[in-house]
Structure 1
Amino acid sequence: MNPSVVPPLRITDPARFGRVAVLLGGVSSEREVSLDSGRNVLDALLARGVQATAVDGIPALIEAIRAGGVDRVFNILHGGDGENGVLQGLLQSLGVPYTGPGVLGSALTLDKIRTKQVWIAAGLPTPRFARIAPGTDPGSTPGQALRAAAGELGLPVFVKPSCEGSSVGVFRILREEDFAEAVAFATDYPGELLMEQMVVGEEYTVGILGDTALPSVRIVPAGDWYDYHAKYIADDTRYLCPGMEGEDEDAIRALALEAFRAAGCSGWGRVDVMRDRAKGLQLIEVNTAPGMTSHSLVPKAAATLGIGFEELCWRILEQTL
């Protein structure tokens, strides 16, 4: 199958989906974004005649399943147990179909460090990195650990939690004075941190829909980099789609699909890529429950192929049948 071709719809009757729980909200650091995404998905499914209901968080979903009111789940629970394999294992054990990758792909890709290790083993390009373990060695401090890793990689670098999303806790370190905020965060953060060489070049993302890699999106923030504000608040971030042309566009879409599959993923998701001016394309991370807000990128890419938001949600839900 051509990875750039979108197949025709397989389902035309919304009754085939039965009762759909749109899982949103939850308790992760991405709750507010998830609520926004979930409301949009719910409205889209209802507009197409799907019997859909919003369910906030996994405990509420369990109760709804126990009550016999759920035939399948549209998972738009960003971060935490919505993307780390916990939800997927639960639903798989209960025999409830769900959108997005399964247990392995979800658990692996929420962990940026392990994802990069798999990509490296598969011979796929990704920036050099260092792992900052939770806590520190006796006699060491978070500041010393961060500076030691930066000394190994060389500035500039990014520091980010290995298992968070939406640019939560991401710090850009260009010079010595930039360490302070990252050190303060690392002092209190209980999980692993990833320090990654900063790619000097353009930022892209590629949506995955089944066996199709959607057109790339080039992200051009008004500020220096694509942080939380640029992603969800600012209206001056520019999105160019397709982000590349000709053979370059074919290459980034093929790489994104290969990276998605290498990480054990299927269904739908999004692969973030950068083009280093010296090294070429570099894989950054995978999102297995991408945003579906007014600023989100998978809907923008789908729209360039004539797939509106309602149809996109329908196509994602089709994958559960």
Structure 2
Amino acid sequence: MEIARFDAELTSALPGVGGEDQEEHGELAPLAAVLLRTESTSSSQIEDITAGAKALALATVGERTGPNAAMVAANVTAMQAAVAMSEDLSVDSLRAAHAALMAGQDYAAPGRFRTGAVWIGGTAPTPHTATFVPPHPSRVQATMDDLIVFCHRTDVPVLAHAAIAHAQFETIHPFADGNGRTGRVLVHAMLRAAGATRALTVPVSAGLLTDTGSYFDALTAYRDGDLTSIVSRFARAAFTGVTNGRVLTEQLQSLYATWEQSLHARRDAAAWTVLPLLIRQPAVTVRWVADHARVSQPAAQRAIDQLLAAGVLIPATANRRNRVWIAEDVTAALDDFAARAGRRG
């Protein structure tokens, strides 16, 4: 109920792309995009893949950043796939999400089930000291088929259903790498498929990130036959994530109100169209603004100049060609969200 309430109250909390325009162009309203990105970032952080909000924003517009930012950006793409996956949750759609997540990382065989043994825990080059050894690769396809049948049941409470499916996915460990992040994509696909969320990606991973030890302990307990621990952990994570998400939303709403007071431009100016877009994508180029605000490149440059004068944007790079501008107040709010969630590093 709390997840559904959060989804409903924030659906139109900030102006932005919506209605027929949203459907035609596949855009997410600002807060929906922000929460999807924060959830993707938190899910990556659980695996100790940490990237600051500024680095992620720059990676999203094609700027060179560290490898972690690129991996988190790929996780954003995979989380976006969860939205589409909710309408066709299948083994193939999970493999497609994994392919998006691990694109370019050949060692992980993106989109393909593992062909060798994997194990969790232990330091030896063999699984003899491991804390858990997932099923033999020859059994992965059958166990995944069984999991998808379970995912399509309608007689299990929504959050418990998603938590148990996630734990079973992690137990199967169907891929050579990227199982944790793909398994958390599955959670959001199931929440969307069940109608608990319609527009937002609730930051459940941010709630798990606050205490990863108990999350991993709950997965271990599940493998010993205890379902209660993982369901309870996801319930706590949902409340924690929603609380954190509300704080972030209030910060961004306050920031947006300040921007509106600072921007002195005609109401039909392109700068006003760009303003809400900066909430979901705080790093922009002239080309990005032209494409997403649907204006000419000269008009995009004028919009950036007006936002620069209003203090909304600052230059992020010194290059005169393909220069990037950034709304640092947004990235600061996103980093505050990560700090509350317990980001390490």
TM-score (norm 1): 0.28
Question: Comparing both structures, which one devotes a greater share of its residues to helix?
Answer: 2
TM-score (norm 2): 0.27
Greater C-alpha Rg? 2
Question: Comparing both structures, which one devotes a greater share of its residues to strand?
Answer: 1
